[in-house]
């Protein structure tokens, strides 16, 4: 039988952190996790939308345990502050879903001067995850799920000599590169966990073609070119609703049979029930090596499992 949100086990006493929990897949993930008893930290940039999302969940689930933290993944300062606040409030984090992201936008820079899609989709999540490593490792078999896209198959490995794609920017090319970075980050993080023999697990998921505001925002921003309206139409008429699109990341985060290093997505590529998918890229080792080089160099923060273990 197909896996659904009803298969999420009881999460009483668990703490889950979801980035971009103010709408779309993030909101649906927060709603499902809270419905199973988890205390959900809703990390989001837009606080008004986050408050509205919290109210929507509470209207359906009056006993839901929710907390809002301001998080702007396009700012290193905001990201570090958010992670520090969460870590101070929660000695243990059982689930982290790195869900927030941007898609096919015009060329822009983050507050720290990085190409916006890589900066928000990956570099921000790198900093956020490293800032939460201590409570993640303190939990019993925590899960870190990073959300990619089928666009990772079209993406190129980040170039350490041209991190910002200067002189070579394209909206969809930057998106594919950022989602490939998400893919490599999830697999590379699992390698770090394996290397240090910790119980925490890192998985990767993609939602397929889901009808959320992501496509609408792409059209409004004008970054996706002529294909953006087409994909918005496809998502509206053939895509899965957000609650179904969120199932792969929810399964990766909660299925007792899921394991670190695995990849979950819709059965039929862009549609269908959430299933384990093969890792098809053959350049994973190279991708992880370059991503770690760029991430540590540009953020100035090392993903140090040893240090986190010593203080956990």
Q: List, by residue number, the catalytic residues.
A: 169
Buried b vs exposed e over 54-73: b needs ≥16 C-beta within 10 Å?
Answer: beebeeeeeebebbbbebbb
Angle at which helices 47-60 and 24-35 cross, to 10° = 40
CA distances 35 to 8, 16, 186, 255, 273, Å, are: 10, 12, 26, 15, 20
Distance separating alpha carbons of residues 100 and 44, to the nearest angstrom = 8
Distance CA 255, CA 2 (A): 13
Asked if residues 204 and 252 have their Cβ atoms less than 8 Å apart, the reply is yes
User: Following DSSP, what letter does each residue of 122-186 receive, concatenated?
Assistant: IIHHHHHHHHTHHHHHHSSS-EEEEE--GGGGT-----TT-TT-TT---HHHHHHHHHHHHHHHH
Q: Which residue has the tokens 């659904």?
A: 4
Q: Which residue do the tokens 């770690």 mark? A: 292
Place of tokens 């893919």: 183
- Tallying the residues shown for the chain, one arrives at 312
Q: How far apart are CA 248 and CA 59, in angstroms?
A: 25
First to last CA, the chain: 39
């Amino acid at each position: 039988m197909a896996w659904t949100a009803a298969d999420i086990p009881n999460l009483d006493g668990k703490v889950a952190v979801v980035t971009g929990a103010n709408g779309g897949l993030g909101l649906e993930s927060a709603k499902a996790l809270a419905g199973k008893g988890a205390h959900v930290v809703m990390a989001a940039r837009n606080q008004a939308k986050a408050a509205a999302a919290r109210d929507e969940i509470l209207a359906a689930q009056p006993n839901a345990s929710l907390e809002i933290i301001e998080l702007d993944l396009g700012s290193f300062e905001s990201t570090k502050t958010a992670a520090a606040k969460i870590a101070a409030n929660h000695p243990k984090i059982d689930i982290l879903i790195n869900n927030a992201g941007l898609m096919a936008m015009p060329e822009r820079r983050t507050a720290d001067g990085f190409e916006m899609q890589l900066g928000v989709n990956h570099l921000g999540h790198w900093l956020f995850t490293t800032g939460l490593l201590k409570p993640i490792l303190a939990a019993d078999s925590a899960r870190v799920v990073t959300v990619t896209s089928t666009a990772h198959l079209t993406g190129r490995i980040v170039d350490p000599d041209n991190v910002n794609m200067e002189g070579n920017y394209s909206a969809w090319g930057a998106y594919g590169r950022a989602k490939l970075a998400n893919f490599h980050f999830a697999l590379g993080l699992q390698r770090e966990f394996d290397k240090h023999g910790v119980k925490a697990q890192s998985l990767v998921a993609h939602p397929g073609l889901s009808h959320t505001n992501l496509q609408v925002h792409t059209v409004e921003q004008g970054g996706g070119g002529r294909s953006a309206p087409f994909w918005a139409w496809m998502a509206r008429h053939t895509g899965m609703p957000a609650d179904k699109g969120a199932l792969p990341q929810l399964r990766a985060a909660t299925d007792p049979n899921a394991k670190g290093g695995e990849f979950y997505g819709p059965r039929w590529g862009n549609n269908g029930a959430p299933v384990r998918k093969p890792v098809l890229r053959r350049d994973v080792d190279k991708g992880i090596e370059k991503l770690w080089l760029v991430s540590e160099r540009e953020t100035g923060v090392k993903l140090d499992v040893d240090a986190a273990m010593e203080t956990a």
